Amino acid sequence: DAGVTQSPTHLIKTRGQQVTLRCSPKSGHDTVSWYQQALGQGPQFIFQYYEEEERQRGNFPDRFSGHQFPNYSSELNVNALLLGDSALYLCASSFEGLVVGYTFGSGTRLTVV
């Protein structure tokens, strides 16, 4: 049974560019949440997608956007990249947003130069 899969694992981008990160949830899960984890800090909630809609959003600018597809997979898009966007981006999946069974992927390490 596959867990949460994220791609790519590492990425280097230049300031001002745009990036798309991808997440496939664990089998049986229908909710995807995205987090940003800067070095030495705890994960920060970006947003959660359920039934292809953004259900709740954290304190992130509109440069951060997302999408959920009918197969429950999700994308995180970041426009106009800043050096401060360099971080580990984590995806977590769950069933109907329930916390029980919350499962994280291994993350995408984004470096902005």
Partner 1 sequence: GIQVEQSPPDLILQEGANSTLRCNFSDSVNNLQWFHQNPWGQLINLFYIPSGTKQNGRLSATTVATERYSLLYISSSQTTDSGVYFCAAINTGGFKTIFGAGTRLFVKA
Task: Using CB under 8 A, list all residues that contact partner 1.
Answer: 33, 35, 37, 41-45, 48, 50, 55-56, 58, 88, 90, 92, 97, 99-104, 106-107, 109
Q: How far is the CB of 77 from partner 1 (least distance, A)?
A: 20
Q: How far is the CB of 18 from partner 1 (least distance, A)?
A: 24
List the structure tokens of 57.
Answer: 């959003």
Task: Select from 42, 19, 12, 26 the least CA-distant residue to 91.
Answer: 26
Q: How far is the CB of 61 from partner 1 (least distance, A)?
A: 16
Amino acid making up residue 91 = C
Closer by beta carbon to partner 1, 65 or else 103? 103
Closer by beta carbon to partner 1, 19 or else 92? 92
Closer by beta carbon to partner 1, 35 or else 78? 35
